[in-house]
Structure 1
Amino acid sequence: MRPTKTCDSMDYEIVSAQQQHIIFAYGQSTTNIGYHGPNNRGNAVVTLYPAPANSTVGIQKAKALKAVKQLAATSNLNTVSIQFPNVTVPSTLTSYLCVHFELPSDQKYHVVQYEGIITTNVVHHMIMYGCTGKPSSFGDLYECSSMTAACSQFTLAWVPGAGTILFPAQAGFAIGTGVNAIRYFALQIHYNNQDNLSNLIDSSGMKIYYTTVLRPNDIGILTLGNEEIKIPANSSNFTSTTWNICPASCTKQFPQNLTVISNGFHMHTLGFNITTKQIRNGQEIATLGDRNYYNFL
């Protein structure tokens, strides 16, 4: 067993309670080391070193699991599966497809956890975008490399290695009707068809766990970042000198204090590393998350 930090410049530290990208390959024999072949390799985002059970993160996760089990035991936990109709995955390397759908809307509900339903190995990621109004159609697939303004509110996301996403016991994501609730969505799936296969049929999607037992807090998404980063042509390496800051003049407008429950990043094909920091009175008080070794694939 290797140490989590080897002090080897060619090795990466395994960080507790943090998702990390790994590339793996394994031989086709249990007795001989040999070439892995095209089917025995891949990449994933995994938590190699989970938080200890007695840590703050571990305790909060245990409470969240207990809360969901209590809902299930009292028949207050409902599920709905949102999946693509059987679709032939485009044979191009990269493609984005969407479908509109409606979640239960007779009242306000809280989503307490969700997970991916994966039927092929070319799903790069999935995102549910909230819509501001009722879409013109439901169930029809359309190309969506760029989301329309009507359905562009980032909500729930899934990536390989994420497993089941569990929300804290004191908060849920609001769907349906009522304050902060979203009724209509577009499910976007990004396919990464590296071998340009033309005969793949996919019906992936998400399984949503929701309840009528509302929690004290609603979960929201705060998006940070500068969309106008201008990378000079023919640059092999570039670091932005423009800080992507949500300043005090912005955070003072929050109606109440916010509790950060998770942190995600989005860099597409050009990013190598990224960090989100929390600054108070000019001093960093917390690193909310970082990705030191990022690969879009």
Structure 2
Amino acid sequence: VLDSNGVFELFWKYNNTHITFEAHVKTLGYVGFGLSPHGQMFPADVVIGWVKDGTVHFKDRHSTGHYEPIIDKSQDWILLSGKEENGKTILKFVRKLRTCDKDDRSIEEGTTKVIFSWHPEDPQHETGLPFHGDSNKGAKNLLLLSPAQHRHLPADAIKFDFVNKQTLIPNKDTYYHCTPYRLPKLDKKHHMVMFEPTIEKGHEDFVHHIIVYKCPAHVNYTDAMLANEYECYANDYKHPMELRDCTSSAFLAWAVGGGPMYMPEKVGFPLGDDDDSGVFILETHYNNPTLKSGVIDSSGLRMYYTPTLRKIDGDTLYTGLAVYEMQVIPPGYPKFASTGYCSSECTSKRLGHLPEGIHVFAVFPHSHLLGHAVRNRIVRNGEELMINDDENYDFDYQEARLMNKEFIIKAGDTIKTQCIYKSDDKDHITVGGISTRQEMCIGFLMYYPKVDFGICASIPQYNQYLDDKTQHKPAKLRELLNARDWKNETVRAEFQKVTDETMHVMSCGSHQGYKMVSF
């Protein structure tokens, strides 16, 4: 369902070359549907169709302004059928994923912005379309070329909620709240098979992302350690030292725009085994740019787990850039690339005992407001291979996506997570950090079989400007860069080259914690 009132339903299926749509719309007038680079009504690649006196009218068009879309010379959207039934107009149509028409948009893996509209009346002719109005239109982000999840829960599934306990959201721009949880004691191994957000109604604009971390099993967690909620990254007494290593192992991850995540039928995330402490940390990032006060929240994540074990244990691997102010995005760039690495030395260390490698079955990319694209890739024997690219990344639609084909990562591979940022409307440097107005570049990779591998991320050092003796590196780097003329194309090109070639410090982490190493 594309709109909030349930007027416009869209169904689709695809293969390697074509995609077929079927629109069911509660109108006996015309129906519009299209692909848009920015989610606006123009410019866009659109089709408009209706049924009048038993005859179906359907044209491939493109929009360029606040006027009727123009009929394409090349009709690449092909009508398969059309009818009016029970107060609905139903149109079925197909097109190639990539056409040779300059007025068409290619359909690629990753986020696609679709637009839609309808009108209660049929047009009198092909070039006399009445305006649909502001209320009969919309836009939505979709993963058109990602496999559909198998939305089924076993009959013996058990529900558990990781939720905030009437948390007062401070009147500050960014706040991270941490709530410890101890899972009910399990007498045997179970599998987590699905999780979903439970966002309190009316709080959708406050809850930016939620992560549930799984704490290492080698620590004896007392009830006193878990008694207090706390601000996640504040250095105070409410943040027990024993809980700090929990963030080396992300168990569940969700961000704004995401929905439920069902594991593939053969995969479950283990609970209650020897590696399970039963202790988790719920981390909630609250975004409150208007500094509203008095908001009390109980949002969180709900998981379902079952004693009926699946074939394979799965897990999540954090890749990309570690969140730190040494990630720098200067102003003035239509496209600026920041890349985080997991070195071949690290994958050899963590996967060396597993010659068949790990199978990535889903990817959850995460960036902030400047993010324009997120690319997850590996380098193997000098060749760069794509795991998953989203060239139309949208901050408001951060959905985990299943892979059309599982990707195998082997010992010795280098994992690259690259984010493309658009900063040409900025007049200041943006750095990495936990605020929504700062940036991140993360790829959460869901994989099987589970190994002792929780995080593999890096931090650029900008050793071309700074050395090991430099104190307060982030501040010193910003001081140097603030003196640059970022309107100068040569300056921008030089800094992109420096960013691409700088040394990184890397975290190569097990589920028991991690340490930083240079490479």
The TM-score range, normalised by the shorter chain, is: 0.7 to 0.9
Structure 2 residue 261 is the aligned partner of structure 1 residue 165: yes
Q: Is the 8 A contact 1:77 1:209 kept in 2?
A: yes
Deviations along 1:148-197, whole A, 9 cap, x unmatched?
5332121101123221111111111112232x435111101111113221
Residue in 1 that maps onto 2:299: 204
**Residues in 2 aligned to 1:189 and 1:241: alpha-carbon distance in whole angstroms:** 25
Q: Is the 8 A contact 1:116 1:163 kept in 2?
A: yes
Any gaps of 5 or more consecutive residues in structure 2?
A: 1-32, 38-43, 46-61, 65-102, 115-131, 396-435, 438-519
- Number of residue equivalences: 265
Q: Is the 8 A contact 1:263 1:289 kept in 2?
A: no
User: Following superposition of structure 1 onto structure 2, how do residues 59-138 of structure 1 map, counting pairs within 5 Å?
Assistant: 61-62=149-150, 65-66=151-152, 68=153, 71-72=154-155, 76-106=156-186, 107-119=188-200, 120-121=203-204, 122-132=206-216, 133=219, 134=221, 136-138=224-226
Once the two structures are TM-superposed, the CA of residue 229 in structure 1 deviates from its matched residue by: 7.9
Once the two structures are TM-superposed, the CA of residue 12 in structure 1 deviates from its matched residue by: 11
- Partner of 2:376, secondary structure, is strand
Once the two structures are TM-superposed, the CA of residue 79 in structure 1 deviates from its matched residue by: 0.8
Deviations along 1:26-51, whole A, 9 cap, x unmatched?
xxxxx9649xxxxxx9x99x435364
**Residues in 1 aligned to 2:308 and 2:329: alpha-carbon distance in whole angstroms:** 54
- Partner of 2:347, secondary structure, is helix
**Residues in 2 aligned to 1:149 and 1:289: alpha-carbon distance in whole angstroms:** 32
Q: Is the 8 A contact 1:172 1:215 kept in 2?
A: yes
Residue in 2 that maps onto 1:253: 352
Larger-gyration structure (1/2): 2
**Residues in 2 aligned to 1:86 and 1:249: alpha-carbon distance in whole angstroms:** 41
Structure 2 residue 383 is the aligned partner of structure 1 residue 283: yes
Once the two structures are TM-superposed, the CA of residue 86 in structure 1 deviates from its matched residue by: 1.0
**Residues in 1 aligned to 2:276 and 2:104: alpha-carbon distance in whole angstroms:** 41
**Residues in 2 aligned to 1:3 and 1:293: alpha-carbon distance in whole angstroms:** 15
Aligned Cα root-mean-square deviation (Å): 3.8
Give the TM-score of the pair, scaled to structure 2: 0.44
Residue in 2 that maps onto 1:175: 271
Q: Is the 8 A contact 2:168 2:294 kept in 1?
A: yes
Q: Is the 8 A contact 2:215 2:245 kept in 1?
A: yes
Q: Select which of 333, 339, 364 maps to 1:264.
A: 364
Q: Is the 8 A contact 1:101 1:139 kept in 2?
A: no
- Partner of 1:151, secondary structure, is helix
Structure 2 residue 110 is the aligned partner of structure 1 residue 18: yes
Q: Is the 8 A contact 1:4 1:15 kept in 2?
A: no
Any gaps of 5 or more consecutive residues in structure 1?
A: 23-30, 35-40, 52-56
Please tell me the residue identity of whatever aligns with 2:110.
Q
Once the two structures are TM-superposed, the CA of residue 84 in structure 1 deviates from its matched residue by: 1.3
Residue in 2 that maps onto 1:185: 280
| Alpha-carbon distance change, 18 to 235 in structure 1, aligned in 2, over 3 angstroms | closer
User: Following superposition of structure 1 onto structure 2, how do residues 215-234 of structure 1 map, counting pairs within 5 Å?
Assistant: 215-227=310-322, 230=326
Higher relative contact order (CA closer than 8 Å, sequence separation 6+): 1
**Residues in 2 aligned to 1:21 and 1:202: alpha-carbon distance in whole angstroms:** 31
Give the TM-score of the pair, scaled to structure 1: 0.73
**Residues in 1 aligned to 2:382 and 2:228: alpha-carbon distance in whole angstroms:** 50
| Alpha-carbon distance change, 270 to 244 in structure 1, aligned in 2, over 3 angstroms | farther
Once the two structures are TM-superposed, the CA of residue 108 in structure 1 deviates from its matched residue by: 1.7
- Partner of 2:316, secondary structure, is coil
| Alpha-carbon distance change, 81 to 278 in structure 1, aligned in 2, over 3 angstroms | same
Q: Is the 8 A contact 2:250 2:317 kept in 1?
A: no
**Residues in 2 aligned to 1:234 and 1:222: alpha-carbon distance in whole angstroms:** 29
Please tell me the residue identity of whatever aligns with 2:267.
A
Residue in 2 that maps onto 1:143: 231
| Alpha-carbon distance change, 203 to 219 in structure 1, aligned in 2, over 3 angstroms | same
**Residues in 1 aligned to 2:346 and 2:329: alpha-carbon distance in whole angstroms:** 34
Which has the higher mean CA deviation after the structures are superposed, 114-123 or 233-242?
Answer: 233-242
**Residues in 2 aligned to 1:246 and 1:50: alpha-carbon distance in whole angstroms:** 30
Identity among equivalent positions (%) equals 25
Please tell me the residue identity of whatever aligns with 1:213.
T
Please tell me the residue identity of whatever aligns with 2:262.
L
Q: Select which of 272, 276, 289 maps to 1:194.
A: 289
Q: Select which of 269, 274, 277 maps to 2:374.
A: 274
Q: Is the 8 A contact 2:319 2:340 kept in 1?
A: no
Residue in 1 that maps onto 2:400: none
Residue in 2 that maps onto 1:155: 251
**Residues in 2 aligned to 1:287 and 1:143: alpha-carbon distance in whole angstroms:** 35
Please tell me the residue identity of whatever aligns with 1:47.
L
